[in-house]
C-alpha cells in the first residue's frame, strides 16, 4: 500500500478518475483523523496492507482530517476486516472512549460507486472550503488581529497556567458560556441554574476570561468573531489538558464531531439544543468532580 502525503489533491483526483472507468474492481475506506502523525499512518498502512493483500492500494491523508484508502481487487471479507482494524487502530491512537462516536466506512465500488462518488464530491468541496477559512476570519476584522491575540495569550502562558490552579479549591462550579448571540447566552443562563455563569461574546473574550477566571466548564459556540471556537478550544487544551469543554454548533456533521473529540472536548451539542442535553453533560462533569464542586440542580 502506498502512503500519499504530498500533492494529495491532484493524485487522489487522478486515481478516482481512473477508478470511474472500471469501479467494479475497486474498494474504498474512509475515516476522519485530524492531524494523524506520519508514523501512525505508516503503521496503519502496514497493518491494513497485510489484511487487504492487494497489488494496488493507496492511503491518502487529505485536508488534515480525511483518510481515504482505495484498493483494487480485494474481496468483501478482507475489506470488512480492514475497516474493523482501522477503526480499532485509530481509536487506540486517539484515545477515544467506547461511548464516543467514530465512523469508519467501507465501500464496495462494484455496487456502491454512485454513493461513494457523491460522498467524495461533497468532501472535496468541504476540504477546499476548510482550506480557505483561515484567510477569512471575519468581514470586518483583519487576520493579523487574530494572530496578535493568540500571541499575547501564549506570551503569558506561565502566568495564565498558574491562575488555573485557583479553581481546584474554589467551591461550587463556574461555567463560561461563549456565543455572540445574546439570546443563546440567556438560554444557557436559564439552563444552568445553581451554577455561577460567566459570559463571553467572542473568541478573544473567551480566552481572556478562561485564563483569568479558570471556569470549571465551558459551553462554547463554534462560530465566533475574530477567533472561532475551534481555535479557542485548541489554545485552551494546549495550556490546560484538564479543561471540560462542551461545543455548540448549528452544523453538527461528522467532521465537526470528530474534530471536537480529537481536540479533547467532553461534549457536543447541536443547535437548537435542549435543556436535557446540556444537563446530561453537566451531570457527567459532576460524576467526576470533587465533592465540593458538585451542584444539585
Q: For the segment 60-113, what is each residue's pLDDT rounded down to a tens digit?
A: 999 878 999 999 988 999 999 999 999 999 989 888 777 667 889 999 999 999
- Listed in order, the ranges of the chain carrying CATH 3.40.50.2300 are 159-293
More confident residue, 34 or 206: 206
Separation in Å, CA 138 to CA 73, 132, 248 = 47, 12, 19
| Confidence band, pLDDT 50/70/90 cuts, at residue 194 | confident
Grid cell digits, residue 94: 486517539
Nearest of 200, 204, 202 to residue 189 by alpha carbon? 200
Q: What would the mean pLDDT of 141-156 be, rounded to a whole number?
A: 62
Most confident residue range from 182-186, 236-240, 268-272:
182-186
Instruction: Outline where DSSP puts E strands in 9-157.
Output: 26-32, 57-62, 66-72, 105-108
Nearest of 226, 264, 268, 237 to residue 164 by alpha carbon? 237
41: part of which helix (H) or strand (E)? helix 38-52
| Confidence band, pLDDT 50/70/90 cuts, at residue 4 | very high
Res 251: pLDDT: 63
Q: Which residues contact 273 (CB under 8 A, 6 or more apart)?
A: 248
Separation in Å, CA 140 to CA 130, 144, 227 = 20, 12, 13
Q: What would the mean pLDDT of 188-193 be, rounded to a whole number?
A: 90
Q: What would the mean pLDDT of 16-29 be, rounded to a whole number?
A: 95
Grid cell digits, residue 105: 466506512
Res 146: pLDDT: 64
Class of domain 159-293: alpha beta
DSSP 274: P
Separation in Å, CA 87 to CA 15, 82, 112, 257 = 24, 9, 21, 16
Share of the chain above pLDDT 70, in %: 81
Q: What would the mean pLDDT of 210-225 be, rounded to a whole number?
A: 89
Pairing type for strands 174-178 and 217-221 reads: parallel
Say if residue 230's pLDDT is above 70. Answer: yes
> How does DSSP assign 237-269, residue by residue?
HHH-TT--EEEEES---HHHHHHHHHHT-SEEE
Grid cell digits, residue 104: 469508519
Grid cell digits, residue 194: 445553581
CA-to-CA distance for 134 and 136, rounded, in angstroms?
Answer: 6
Res 285: pLDDT: 84
Say if residue 256's pLDDT is above 70. Answer: no
Say if residue 133's pLDDT is above 70. Answer: no
Say if residue 173's pLDDT is above 70. Answer: yes
pLDDT, mean over the chain: 83
- Listed in order, the ranges of the chain carrying CATH 3.30.70 are 2-134
Nearest of 75, 25, 87 to residue 51 by alpha carbon? 75
Q: What would the mean pLDDT of 35-63 be, rounded to a whole number?
A: 93
Residues in the chain: 297
Q: What would the mean pLDDT of 18-23 be, rounded to a whole number?
A: 94
CATH of 2-134, one of 3.40.50, 2.10.25, 3.30.70, 3.90.220: 3.30.70
SS3 content of the chain, % helix, strand, coil (to 5): 55, 20, 30
| Confidence band, pLDDT 50/70/90 cuts, at residue 275 | confident
Evaluated on CA atoms 200, 202, 205, 206, the torsion sign reads: positive
Q: Is cis: bond before 272, omega within 30 of 0?
A: yes
CA-to-CA distance for 161 and 212, rounded, in angstroms?
Answer: 10
Res 22: pLDDT: 94
Res 289: pLDDT: 60
CA-to-CA distance for 45 and 41, rounded, in angstroms?
Answer: 6
Contact assessment for residue 146 and residue 137, using Cβ atoms and an 8 Å cutoff: yes
Q: Which residues contact 19 (CB under 8 A, 6 or more apart)?
A: 26, 70, 109
Nearest of 211, 197, 71 to residue 150 by alpha carbon? 211
Amino acid at each position: 500500500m502506498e502512503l500519499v502525503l504530498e500533492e494529495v489533491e491532484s493524485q487522489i483526483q487522478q486515481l478516482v478518475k481512473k477508478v470511474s472507468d472500471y469501479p467494479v474492481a475497486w474498494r474504498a475506506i474512509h475515516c476522519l483523523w485530524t492531524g494523524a502523525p506520519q508514523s501512525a499512518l505508516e503503521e496503519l498502512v502496514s497493518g491494513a496492507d497485510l489484511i487487504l493483500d492487494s497489488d494496488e492500494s493507496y492511503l491518502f491523508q487529505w485536508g488534515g482530517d480525511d483518510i481515504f484508502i482505495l484498493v483494487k481487487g480485494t474481496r468483501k471479507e478482507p475489506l470488512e476486516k480492514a475497516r474493523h482494524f482501522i477503526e480499532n487502530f485509530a481509536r487506540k491512537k486517539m484515545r477515544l472512549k467506547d461511548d464516543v462516536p467514530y465512523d469508519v466506512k467501507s465501500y464496495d465500488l462494484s455496487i456502491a460507486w454512485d454513493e461513494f462518488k457523491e460522498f467524495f464530491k461533497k468532501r472535496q468541496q468541504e476540504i477546499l472550503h476548510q482550506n480557505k477559512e483561515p484567510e477569512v476570519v471575519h468581514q470586518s476584522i483583519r487576520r493579523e488581529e487574530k494572530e496578535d491575540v493568540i500571541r499575547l495569550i501564549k506570551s503569558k502562558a506561565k502566568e495564565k497556567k498558574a491562575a488555573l490552579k485557583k479553581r481546584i479549591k474554589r467551591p461550587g462550579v463556574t461555567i463560561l458560556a461563549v456565543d455572540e448571540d445574546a439570546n443563546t447566552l440567556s438560554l444557557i443562563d436559564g439552563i444552568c441554574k445553581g451554577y455561577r455563569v460567566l459570559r463571553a461574546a467572542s473568541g478573544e473574550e473567551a480566552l481572556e476570561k478562561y485564563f483569568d477566571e479558570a471556569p470549571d466548564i465551558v459551553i462554547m459556540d463554534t462560530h465566533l468573531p475574530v477567533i472561532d471556537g475551534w481555535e479557542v478550544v485548541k489554545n485552551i487544551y494546549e495550556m490546560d489538558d484538564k479543561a471540560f469543554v462542551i461545543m455548540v454548533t448549528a452544523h453538527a456533521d461528522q467532521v465537526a464531531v470528530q474534530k471536537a473529540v480529537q481536540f479533547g472536548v467532553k461534549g457536543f451539542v447541536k443547535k437548537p439544543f435542549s435543556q436535557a442535553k446540556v444537563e446530561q453533560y453537566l451531570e457527567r462533569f459532576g460524576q467526576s468532580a470533587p465533592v465540593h464542586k458538585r451542584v444539585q440542580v
